[in-house]
Structure 1
Amino acid sequence: MSHDPSNLDNLLSIHLEQNKTRLQQLFSDCTDIVYLDCDLGQTVPGLFVYFNGLTDEERLDEIRQSVSTVDHRIEQEVSQEASQEVYFEDLIYRKINHLQFKELPTFNDIADQLTMGNPVLVVDGMDTGYAFSLACWRKRAVEDPVAESVVRGPREGFSESITDNMAMLRRRIRNPDLKMKGLELGLYTKTCVTIAYVEGLAAPELIAEVEKRLAVIEVDGVLESGNIEEYIEDQPFSPFPQIMATERPDTVTASLLEGRVAILTDGTPFCLVAPISLFSLLQSPEDFYQRYMISTAIRWLRYTFFLIALIAPSAYVAVLTYHQEMIPSSLLFSIVKSREEIPFPALVEAFIMETMFEALREAGVRLPKQVGAAVSIVGALVIGQAATSAGLVSSPMVMVVAITGIASFLIPHYTIGISIRLLRFPIMLLAGILGLLGLLIGLIAIVIHLCSLRSFGTPYLSPLAPMMSEEWKDVLVRAPAWTPTKRPRLTRAGGGSRSSRTMKPVQPLKEQGE
Structure 2
Amino acid sequence: MKTKQPGQTPEFLSTNLKENLETLSLLLNDPSDLTTKVLQVGGSSYTSAIVSLEGLSDQLMIKEQIIQPIQQNPEQFAASNEDVRQVLHEIENRMISLQITNRTRRWDEVIPVILSGDTILMMEGTDEVLLIKSRNWPGRSIEEPQTEALVRGPRVGFTESIYTNISLLRRHIREPNLTIDPHTIGRRSNQSLAVIYIKGLTNPELIEEVNRRLKSLDLDYAPESGTVEQWIEDSFLSPFPQILNTERPDKVTSALLQGKVAILLDGTPFVLLLPFTFVSLLHSPEDYYERWSIGSLIRLLRLAAIGITLFLPALYIAILSFHPGMIPFKLVFSIAASREGVPFPAVIEALLMEVTLELLREAGIRLPKPIGQTIGIVGGLVIGEAAVQAGIVSPIMVIIVALTAISSFAIPSYSAGISFRMLRFAIMIAASFLGLYGIVLTFIMICIHLMRLHTFGIPYLSPVAPSIQHDWKDMFIRVPVTWLTRRPLFMKPQDIHRAKKR
Pick the TM interval, shorter chain.
over 0.9
Task: Choose which of 74, 77, 80 in structure 2 pairs with 1:74.
Answer: 77
- What is the aligned partner in structure 1 of residue 295 from structure 2? 295
**Do the aligned partners of 1:201 and 1:492 also contact (CA within 8 Å) in 2?**
no
Aligned pair count?
493
Distance, in Å, in 2 between the alignment partners of 1:483 and 1:6 is 65
- Give the SS at the match of 1:272: strand
Correspondence 1:224-373 to 2 at 5 A: 224-373=224-373
- Give the SS at the match of 1:475: coil
- What is the aligned partner in structure 2 of residue 52 from structure 1? 54
Task: Choose which of 60, 63, 72 in structure 2 pairs with 1:61.
Answer: 63
**Unmatched 5+ stretches in structure 2:** none
- What is the aligned partner in structure 1 of residue 482 from structure 2? 482
Distance, in Å, in 2 between the alignment partners of 1:106 and 1:491 is 42
Following superposition, the deviation at residue 299 of structure 1 comes to 0.9
- Give the SS at the match of 2:491: coil
**Do the aligned partners of 1:172 and 1:253 also contact (CA within 8 Å) in 2?**
yes
- What is the aligned partner in structure 2 of residue 144 from structure 1? 144
**Do the aligned partners of 1:75 and 1:91 also contact (CA within 8 Å) in 2?**
no
- What is the aligned partner in structure 1 of residue 500 from structure 2? 507
- What is the aligned partner in structure 2 of residue 466 from structure 1? 466
Moved more, 54-63 or 424-433: 54-63
Distance, in Å, in 2 between the alignment partners of 1:120 and 1:175 is 33
- Give the SS at the match of 1:482: helix
- What is the aligned partner in structure 2 of residue 23 from structure 1? 24
Distance 1:478 1:208, change over 3 A: same
Following superposition, the deviation at residue 186 of structure 1 comes to 0.7
Give CA deviations for 1:30-74 in whole Å, capped at 9, x if unaligned: 221112221122412222211111111112112112112222333
Q: Does 1:429 align with 2:432?
A: no
**Do the aligned partners of 2:279 and 2:476 also contact (CA within 8 Å) in 1?**
no
Moved more, 463-472 or 424-433: 463-472
- Give the SS at the match of 1:316: helix
Following superposition, the deviation at residue 111 of structure 1 comes to 1.3
- What is the aligned partner in structure 1 of residue 446 from structure 2? 446
- What is the aligned partner in structure 2 of residue 91 from structure 1? 87
**Do the aligned partners of 2:318 and 2:432 also contact (CA within 8 Å) in 1?**
yes
Distance 1:112 1:397, change over 3 A: same
Following superposition, the deviation at residue 26 of structure 1 comes to 2.4
Q: Does 1:377 align with 2:377?
A: yes
Distance 1:273 1:4, change over 3 A: farther
- Give the SS at the match of 2:493: coil
Letter in 2 for 1:225: S
With normalisation by structure 2, the TM-score equals 0.94
- What is the aligned partner in structure 1 of residue 111 from structure 2? 111
**Unmatched 5+ stretches in structure 1:** 82-86, 496-501, 510-514
Distance, in Å, in 2 between the alignment partners of 1:508 and 1:171 is 26
Letter in 1 for 2:337: K
**Do the aligned partners of 1:74 and 1:94 also contact (CA within 8 Å) in 2?**
no
**Do the aligned partners of 1:481 and 1:505 also contact (CA within 8 Å) in 2?**
no
Distance, in Å, in 2 between the alignment partners of 1:108 and 1:291 is 55
Distance 1:7 1:275, change over 3 A: farther
Distance, in Å, in 1 between the alignment partners of 2:8 and 2:237 is 38
Distance, in Å, in 2 between the alignment partners of 1:486 and 1:347 is 48
Letter in 2 for 1:143: E
Following superposition, the deviation at residue 25 of structure 1 comes to 2.0
- What is the aligned partner in structure 2 of residue 499 from structure 1? none
Moved more, 166-175 or 42-51: 42-51
- What is the aligned partner in structure 2 of residue 171 from structure 1? 171
With normalisation by structure 1, the TM-score equals 0.92
Q: Does 1:33 align with 2:26?
A: no
Distance, in Å, in 2 between the alignment partners of 1:7 and 1:111 is 15
**Do the aligned partners of 1:481 and 1:506 also contact (CA within 8 Å) in 2?**
no
**Do the aligned partners of 2:487 and 2:498 also contact (CA within 8 Å) in 1?**
no
- CA RMSD, Structure 1 to Structure 2 (Å): 2.0
Letter in 1 for 2:256: L
